[in-house]
């Protein structure tokens, strides 16, 4: 917001760190160009298939691309910008950054990871597996201590990046390797790819609904950010509280919300690939996250209203968020058609 020091600081941090991330991306692409003689996915895939003595160049280039994309998707250890930027930016802008930017980053990462396997899976697989575990664990543990709703959702987005990385790990796992030659490998890869796309859709709906409500609320001090001042929101603004509750329950993965089905598809793909330890770690992290999501609901529904509590509620924003909340419920109850569409889309972009 113009004139707000926090917003200016957040914008500067995002600009500066985004520039560094872009530099890593460009350097990685330059190395891949030197390896493949082109930047088209088909050129890189052809060069990887032919092999050669420059495979180290491809590994280094792919690693630099991973670093650049890691910033975009808030992957640990490239995540430190996320809490400050989410906290300082207006809620509606934060909602866009939490969904569109992350979805675009993961879409590229999914395409790129599928392209790089099985030739470079041996280099990417252990690194991404470790980063996935680190990202989801750090995100969930730090979120437990937050008193700001926007910072809570920032660390939550980091944790969700970890879950999504589990899908990418599955995509390049030995079980999915050689997908062009092995029917089973292709099925595992398709299962992971469709689960990732479905998860990205679910994640976007949940976060847009949550940030829509946060942006619509407020008082004389500004945006609705302090969790304790949500006390009694269910009495003052029952519709806003209900929509935010649906979003939080879905983010926690509680049935029958779409968040539950997205995690079910994702963890099922991980198990199908034989990555049982990673699936167990993902489930444990999901259980940890339930605490901080339910904390918001407890404050809204079980605490008495405060005099300086949030009382806003822009009708257009609340209405749009309510529509998203309905979609969250509908896709949780009947996800099959959308999941099949995700599979079709993945096949089109992967093969």
Q: What is the pLDDT of residue 143?
A: 95
Contacts of residue 256, defined as CB under 8 A and 6 or more positions apart, other chains included, come to 329, 332, 333
**The two three-digit tokens of residue 237, written as one number:** 């603004």
Per the domain annotation, does 183 fall within a domain? yes
Q: What is the DSSP letter of 98?
A: I
pLDDT for the residue 32? 84
pLDDT at 310: 67
- In this prediction, residue 120 carries a pLDDT of 66
Domains: count for the chain: 1
The gap from C-alpha 28 to its chain's centroid, in whole angstroms, comes to 23
Distance CA 179, CA 172 (A): 10
Residue 193 domain-assigned? yes
Q: Is the dihedral of CA 332, 153, 148, 239 positive or negative?
A: negative
| Segment 181-201 mean pLDDT | 79
308 lies in some domain: yes
Average pLDDT over residues 197-223: 86
| Residue 320 pLDDT grade (very low, low, confident, very high; cuts 50, 70, 90) | very high
Confidence band of 325 (pLDDT split at 50, 70, 90): very high
Q: What percent of the chain has a predicted confidence (pLDDT) above 70?
A: 87
The rounded distance, in Å, linking the Cα atoms of 316 and 120 is 48
CA–CA gap between residue 9 and residue 250 (Å, rounded)? 31
Q: Which of 210-219, 304-313, 330-339 has the highest mean pLDDT?
A: 330-339
Residue 50 lies in a domain: no
In-domain check, residue 80:
yes
Q: Is the pLDDT of residue 15 over 90?
A: no
* Residue 219: its H or E element: strand 218-219
> What residues make up the domain containing 83?
74-350
Encode burial over 4-26: b for 16+ CB neighbours within 10 A, e otherwise.
Answer: eeebeebeebbeebbeebeebbe
Query: In this structure, is residue 244 part of a structural domain?
Result: yes
The least confident of 133-137, 155-159, 224-228 is 224-228
The residue-averaged pLDDT of 216-222 equals 68
* Mean pLDDT for the stretch of residues 200-208: 95
First to last CA, the chain: 44
**What residue has token string 């619509």?**
216
Record the tokens describing residue 82, joined without a space: 């996320």
Measured CA to CA, the distance from residue 48 to residue 36 in angstroms comes to 8
Structure tokens at 246: 């649906």
CA distance 82 to 284: 23
- What is the model's pLDDT at position 183? 44
Over residues 42-58, the mean pLDDT reads 74
Give the angle 29-80-137 at the CA atoms, nearest 5°: 100
Residue 25 placed within a domain = no
Q: Are 245 and 293 in contact (CB under 8 A)?
A: no
- The residues with which 223 forms a beta bridge, in sequence order, are 218
Q: Point out the least confidently predicted range of 48-52, 314-318, 338-342.
A: 48-52
Average pLDDT over residues 111-136: 81
pLDDT digits (tens, 9 = 90+) for 235-285: 888 999 999 999 999 999 999 999 999 999 999 999 998 899 999 999 999
Higher pLDDT, 243 or 16: 243
Given CA atoms 194, 199, 205, 211 in this order, what sign does their dihedral have? Answer: negative
User: Is residue 36 a part of any domain in this protein?
Assistant: no
Q: How confident is the model at residue 221 (pLDDT cuts 50, 70, 90)?
A: low
Mean pLDDT computed over every residue of the chain = 85
């Amino acid at each position: 917001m113009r004139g707000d020091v926090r917003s200016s600081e957040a914008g500067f941090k995002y600009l500066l760190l985004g520039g560094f991330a872009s530099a890593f991306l460009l350097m990685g692409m330059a190395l891949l160009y030197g390896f493949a003689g082109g930047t088209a996915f088909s050129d890189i895939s052809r060069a990887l298939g032919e092999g050669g003595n420059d495979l180290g160049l491809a590994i280094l280039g792919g690693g630099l691309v991973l670093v650049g994309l890691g910033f975009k998707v808030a992957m640990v250890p490239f995540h430190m910008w996320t809490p400050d930027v989410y906290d300082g930016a207006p809620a509606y802008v934060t909602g866009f950054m939490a969904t569109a930017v992350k979805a675009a980053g993961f879409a590229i990462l999914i395409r790129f990871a599928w392209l790089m396997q099985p030739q470079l899976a041996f280099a990417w697989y252990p690194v991404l597996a470790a980063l996935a575990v680190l990202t989801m664990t750090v995100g969930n543990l730090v979120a437990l201590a937050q008193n700001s709703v926007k910072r809570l959702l920032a660390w939550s987005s980091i944790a969700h990046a970890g879950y999504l990385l589990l899908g990418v790990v599955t995509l390049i796992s030995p079980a999915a390797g050689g997908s062009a030659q092995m029917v089973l490998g292709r099925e595992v890869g398709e299962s992971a790819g469709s689960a990732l796309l479905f998860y990205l859709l679910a994640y976007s709906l949940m976060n847009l609904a949550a940030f829509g409500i946060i942006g619509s609320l407020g008082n004389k001090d500004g945006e609705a950010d302090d969790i304790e001042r949500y006390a009694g929101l269910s009495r003052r603004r029952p519709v806003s509280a209900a929509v935010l509750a649906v979003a939080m329950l879905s983010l926690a993965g509680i049935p029958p919300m779409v968040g539950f089905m997205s995690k079910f598809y994702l963890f099922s793909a991980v198990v199908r690939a034989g990555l049982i330890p990673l699936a167990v770690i993902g489930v444990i992290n999901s259980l940890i996250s339930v605490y901080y999501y339910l904390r918001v609901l407890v404050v809204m529904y079980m605490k008495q209203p405060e005099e300086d509590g949030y009382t806003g509620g822009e009708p257009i924003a609340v209405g749009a968020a309510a529509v998203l909340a309905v979609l969250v419920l509908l896709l949780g109850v009947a996800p099959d058609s959308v999941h099949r569409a995700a599979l079709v889309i993945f096949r089109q972009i992967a093969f």
